[in-house]
Amino acid sequence: MALFITFEGGEGSGKSFQSKGLYRRLDKLKIPALLTHEPGGTALGEKLTRLLKWARDTGISPLTELLMFNASRAQLVAEVIQPGLKAGKVVICDRYTDSTVAYQHYGRGLDLKLVKTINEGATGGLAPSLIILLDVPVDVGLTRKENKKPDRFEQEGLAFHRRVREGYLKMAAADPKRWLVIDACQPRDKIAGIIWGRASRLLLKKSKTEVK
């Protein structure tokens, strides 16, 4: 039952926790599933991630950042996501192209058409059926990360992170059928229940379509 689900959100929104939770739930139900993440997910991607997130003595321009993210993404799509979907699995990805629009367009100010064109080239047009946005106020999300060493993006100012959040909410409002926006300040169990409610309905609809 091939299905592509992505998780999006700002820093400290709980994407990684909830994406892992959905994967474990599917696995427990014996539904073939695959969990991956961006940037990274492949040997090449992990090398690029170290530069993108942790480079201290190397300047990375917004355009270079965009191209590096999409180099990692192109490899992930070819090596992990597409094979998983072809094998009939539910593929869950922690971040995908909408992160790039949020961070590199809304956050960095790169041209939207340019960002979308490069995203399209890297993915071959592959888009998720469901995008789960865990929305959290910027100050709350960053506070959740205080005990961890901040990466390049977490060190950005509040204005940057607010632009990223606003970008996510604009994208979700423009495509409500594919986006599920969840208040990430709620208890984790409640969030997981909301996610499962939407995902399970999508799985049921998919299975009925395939039977026909």
Q: So what's the pLDDT on residue 56?
A: 76
| DSSP collapsed to 3 states, 53-83 | HHCCCCCCCHHHHHHHHHHHHHHHHHHHHHH
Q: So what's the pLDDT on residue 94?
A: 98
Q: What is the pTM of this model?
A: 0.93
Question: Measured between alpha carbons, how far is 204 from 196 in angstroms, rounded to an integer?
Answer: 12
Question: Measured between alpha carbons, how far is 96 from 6 in angstroms, rounded to an integer?
Answer: 7
Q: So what's the pLDDT on residue 147?
A: 79
pLDDT tier at 126, thresholds 50, 70, 90: very high
By three-state DSSP, how is residue 148 classified? coil
Contact 99, 37 (CB under 8 A): no
* For range 117-129, the mean pLDDT: 97
Contact 22, 181 (CB under 8 A): no
Q: So what's the pLDDT on residue 137?
A: 96
Percent pLDDT > 70 in the chain is 98
Q: So what's the pLDDT on residue 208?
A: 67
Q: So what's the pLDDT on residue 58?
A: 77
Q: So what's the pLDDT on residue 210?
A: 66
| CA separation, residue 156 to residues 55, 152, 165 (Å) | 14, 7, 13
Q: What is the pLDDT of residues 176-201, one digit of tens each?
A: 999 999 999 999 999 999 999 999 99
- Where do runs of H (alpha helix) occur along the chain? 15-28, 43-54, 62-76, 82-86, 97-100, 112-123, 138-144, 158-174, 188-211
The one-character DSSP state at 105 is: I
pLDDT over 90 (residue 167):
yes
Q: What is the pLDDT of residues 152-162, one digit of tens each?
A: 898 899 999 99
pLDDT over 60 (residue 5):
yes
Q: So what's the pLDDT on residue 212?
A: 52
* For range 91-99, the mean pLDDT: 98
What are the structural domains of the chain? 14-91+104-139+155-211 (3.40.50.300)
